[in-house]
């Protein structure tokens, strides 16, 4: 009987220890833009190959990802590419107010604006954002022959798309160019045709992004960012967001970081510790994006090769140096 009790105690200790060491699967959100998809795989592969954990990927828009991180149930645990202040309505709610989400210590700088191909600058003198608010621009950027030009302001679900809808209104561009929204992949397929034919193309762009390596493009000049003339209200803040917003100065320099559910501190502390330290650079991410989107590399292979070649960077994220 004593031996049975002893064996039972040992088994209980073993099961307890195994449970303590168990790490929940980490579900990494996967927004639609290329940089975010790549960052999601960087995070997932490091969790699997360096931490010995399990990772999965969950496509979703910003609102869905943040709400899932807030829930802490493991539906989605990580947002790999949070652009601030674009997504500040989410970080204000879930990071600052509720305290259910944390941001990584590292970040990189991002820039955003309206781009045109360089031949529009050189041949048609389109240099400023205000050059789009003219009858000449209406004709130059009319790709479908309906008598009005077009400007792509981004994909549905992006916080920046709402901002640029307001921007083209407040700069007076909307009178001459119709703001359009469609999936980034669909738009860039159309952009290729426009550039191949040297037609007018005006579109939301940001850096880091592969478009700057793919085509010679220019970000149009804008007035310097002025908080007094830049008031953006997002739909999750007010149903009348469009009418209550005003954007007629340039974008502030963006801070791009990683967000993760604080539930990981208990469910997978090793992953939480890693996510708190991750610090990808804009240059590194641009190169990865170029290899995947422009050169056609398979995303998991490109990311795996990068992790293998950058052990020092990854070690720092893991707190090993």
**pLDDT tens-digit readout, 215-271:** 999 999 999 999 999 999 999 999 999 999 999 999 988 899 999 999 999 999 999
**Token output for 28:** 């990494």
Helix (H/G/I), strand (E/B), else coil: 300: helix
Burial 27-57 (b: 16+ CB within 10 A, else e): bbbbbbbbbbbbbbbbbbbbbeebbebebeb
Lowest mean pLDDT across 116-120, 126-130, 287-291, 314-318: 287-291
Sign of CA dihedral 219, 222, 227, 230: negative
In the predicted structure, residue 19 carries a pLDDT above the cut 90: no
Provide the whole-model pTM.
0.69
Q: What percent of the chain has pLDDT over 70?
A: 93
**pLDDT tens-digit readout, 42-87:** 999 999 999 999 999 999 999 999 999 999 999 999 999 999 988 9
Residue 249 CA, chain-centre distance (Å), reads 22
Indicate the pLDDT class of residue 286, thresholds 50, 70 and 90. Answer: confident
**pLDDT tens-digit readout, 180-223:** 999 998 999 999 999 999 999 999 998 888 888 889 999 999 99
């Amino acid at each position: 009987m004593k031996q049975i009790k002893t064996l039972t105690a040992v088994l209980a200790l073993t099961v307890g220890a195994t449970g303590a060491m168990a790490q929940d699967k980490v579900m990494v959100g996967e927004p639609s833009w290329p940089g975010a998809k790549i960052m999601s795989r960087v995070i997932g592969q490091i969790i699997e190959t360096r931490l010995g954990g399990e990772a999965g990927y969950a496509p979703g828009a910003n609102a869905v990802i943040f709400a899932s991180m807030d829930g802490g149930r493991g539906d989605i645990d990580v947002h790999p590419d949070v652009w601030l202040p674009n997504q500040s309505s989410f970080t204000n709610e879930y990071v600052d107010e509720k305290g259910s989400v944390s941001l990584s210590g590292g970040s990189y700088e991002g820039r955003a604006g309206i781009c045109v191909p360089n031949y529009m600058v050189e041949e048609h003198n389109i240099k400023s954002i205000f050059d789009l608010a003219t009858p000449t621009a209406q004709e130059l950027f009319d790709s479908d022959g309906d008598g009005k030009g077009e400007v792509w302001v981004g994909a549905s679900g992006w916080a920046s798309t709402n901002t640029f809808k307001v921007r083209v209104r407040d700069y007076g561009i909307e009178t001459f160019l119709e703001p359009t929204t469609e999936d980034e992949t669909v738009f860039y397929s159309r952009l290729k045709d426009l550039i191949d034919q040297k037609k007018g193309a005006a579109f939301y762009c940001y850096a880091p992004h592969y478009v700057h390596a793919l085509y010679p493009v220019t970000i149009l000049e804008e007035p310097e960012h002025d908080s007094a003339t830049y008031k953006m209200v997002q739909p999750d803040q007010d149903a009348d967001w469009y009418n209550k917003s005003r954007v007629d100065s340039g974008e502030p320099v963006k801070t791009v970081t990683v967000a993760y559910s604080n539930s990981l501190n208990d469910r997978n502390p090793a992953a939480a510790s890693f996510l708190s330290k991750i610090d990808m650079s804009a240059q590194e991410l641009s190169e990865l994006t170029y290899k995947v989107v422009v050169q056609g590399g398979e995303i998991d292979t490109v990311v795996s090769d990068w992790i293998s070649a950058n052990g020092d960077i990854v070690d720092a994220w893991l707190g090993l140096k």
